[in-house]
Amino acid sequence: MFIVVTGASKGIGLEIVKQLAADDDNIVLAVSRSNKTLNELQKGYQNILVLSGDITSASVQKKILTISKKHAKHIDILIHNAGHIIKKAFEKISAGELKTVYDVNVFAPFLLTQQLLPLMGKRTKTHVITISSMGGVQGSSKFPGLSAYSSSKAALAGLTECLAEELKEKNIAVNCLAIGAVQTEMLGKAFPGYKAPLNAKQMANFIIDFALTGHQYFNGKIIPVSSTTP
Ligand SMILES: NC(=O)c1ccc[n+]([C@@H]2O[C@H](COP(=O)([O-])OP(=O)(O)OC[C@H]3O[C@@H](n4cnc5c(N)ncnc54)[C@H](OP(=O)(O)O)[C@@H]3O)[C@@H](O)[C@H]2O)c1
């Protein structure tokens, strides 16, 4: 399988790439900004391709298509995992900070999916997965300081439903995993001192299982993956 994973330099994305690459039948394209970590990640694996770049940049989105085309005729799985958080009182969030959160969490998955369409679906199904957050689920508990982040994750969930409907005729399934607390750097920013019930490896394991089989059972679904609050 050919799989694209964004946000691959640390946390959940890093674990997703390592676990997927353990299967020699997979080729994984790992994308994130940190060049150093990506190069480290590549060591010892024949089947990890890396691209260091900002996924909000149109040229990086294009490069992901070019690299994918060079190595595969078809993208089987696309995991929009990269995420950006800002924790700040509502009245202190600047327009620039708000834009960055939406650029990474909403605009990039939108535009990257658009860019990669030529390599998705048709005779073989593609499963696109967006990684949202419990905070982005309507009716879930909300927390002060996360208005930009949680609202962007709600937009991502909504986008998932729209894309699933519009792309189903192209043989592309799109689902959203709205995950709860996982012990990563990002959780430390959102809830300092909080001990999550899962580590990145465990969540990556679940996401991969879902990526491999979930499209047979779900399309356009927003699935909460959480046993605690937060
Ligand atoms: N951890 C949790 O409790 C939790 C809960 C709910 C949802 N989530 C979601 O799960 C996903 C993974 O989170 P995590 O906890 O593993 O976060 P993390 O440890 O902070 O990792 C985030 C990843 O995204 C990449 N990234 C950020 N901005 C980017 C950009 N502009 N271009 C390319 N890559 C970018 C980072 O790499 P570089 O800095 O190298 O670019 C990093 O690899 C995120 O979407 C997050 O919102 C996490």
Q: What is the pLDDT of residues 69-120, one digit of tens each?
A: 999 999 999 999 999 999 999 999 999 999 999 999 999 999 999 999 999 9
What mean pLDDT do residues 28-37 have? 96
Identify the CA nearest to 82 among candidates 117, 59, 57, 119: 57
Which listed residue (18, 92, 149, 168) is catalytic? 149
What is the percent of the chain with per-residue pLDDT over 70, rounded to a whole number? 100
| Residue 31 clears pLDDT 90, i.e. is over it | yes
- C-beta of residue 129 within 8 angstroms of C-beta of residue 176: yes
Beta strands per DSSP E along the chain: 2-6, 27-32, 48-52, 77-80, 126-133, 172-179, 182-183, 198-199, 222-225
Residue 6 pLDDT level (bands cut at 50, 70, 90):
very high
Which mutation among 10, 28, 100, 206 tests ligand 1's pocket best, with the greatest number of atoms within 8 A of CB?
10
What mean pLDDT do residues 151-163 have? 98
Residue 140 CA to ligand 1 centre (angstroms): 21
Query: Considering only CA atoms, which residue is closest to atom 32 of ligand 1?
Result: 54
User: Ligand 1: which atom is nearest the Cα of residue 191?
Assistant: 3
| Residue 44 clears pLDDT 90, i.e. is over it | no
Q: Is 153 a known active-site residue?
A: yes
- C-beta of residue 160 within 8 angstroms of C-beta of residue 206: no
Please state whether beta strands 198-199 and 48-52 pair in parallel, antiparallel, or not at all (unpaired): unpaired
Residue 46 pLDDT level (bands cut at 50, 70, 90):
very high
- C-beta of residue 147 within 8 angstroms of C-beta of residue 194: no
Model pTM greater than 0.95? yes
pLDDT of residue 106: 99
Q: Is 149 a known active-site residue?
A: yes
Distance CA 123, CA 137 (A): 33
